A and B are shown apart, each in its own frame.
Chain A
């Protein structure tokens, strides 16, 4: 069974750094792109970008380039999303999601449960 297990909710102050995780299991981690999607509670879904675990090829939405960093650790089949300096506007639920095949131009067929990130002074 494909599962994406995300790390728990975080409360941070503006300017702090943060790294959240997405542990994948039940499939070959290196053959599917992993994407990240942001959702402000009660609002819509924003596509942030994705990463190919086999070689860490990464594609960011231009508006998020330089704002977040995606990475993976193949040895523990885990994807990460990192911020160096959080802003209040980063407050949202962040989902990781698996692309349904080895080519990135495909839909997300499995999703993590989401990680709520709250940034407040």
Chain B
């Protein structure tokens, strides 16, 4: 089973500032990596897939990058609706398709 880790656990950012979230896989997952956003009381929402492709409706301020074992989600200028928990997930060929523990982005 591939283990996904994320850092930091919590990121405190002021509105309008940029944020960078990291995700690491215990072995290569190629570009088979997705990012999800979860706001309180809501189901997760797909933001990025294929490591760098924005899902339908994902604003351009969200950018995914990376491959193999190291991935990054960048948010260029945080809006109020971006304060949430972000999870990465691999879906590389063989299940289980594990999630990272999440990074909470909160208001500084």
Contact = CB atoms under 8 A, between A and B. Distances in A.
Contact of B99 (A46, A49, A111): A46
Interface string A92-121: 000101001000111111011110000000
A88 interface: no
Contacts of B43: 95, 97, 111-114
Given A95-B44, A113-B43, A114-B43, A107 B95 contact: no
A80 interface: no
Nearest to A96: B43
A121 B30 CA distance: 46
A114 to B, nearest CB: 6
Interface centre among A35, A44, A49 (most CB of B within 10 A): A44
Contacts of A112: 43
B34 interface: yes
Size band of the B side of the interface? Answer: 20 to 34
Interface residues of A, number: 24
B96 A47 contact: yes
Contact of B91 (A44, A61, A95, A105): A105
B87 A104 contact: no
A11 interface: no
B72 interface: no
A108 B48 CA distance: 11
A59 B1 CA distance: 14
Contact of B95 (A46, A47, A95, A100): A47
A45 interface: yes
A104 B45 CA distance: 18
B46 A61 contact: no
B77 interface: no
B32 interface: yes
Interface of B: 1, 32, 34, 36, 43-46, 49, 55, 87, 89, 91-102
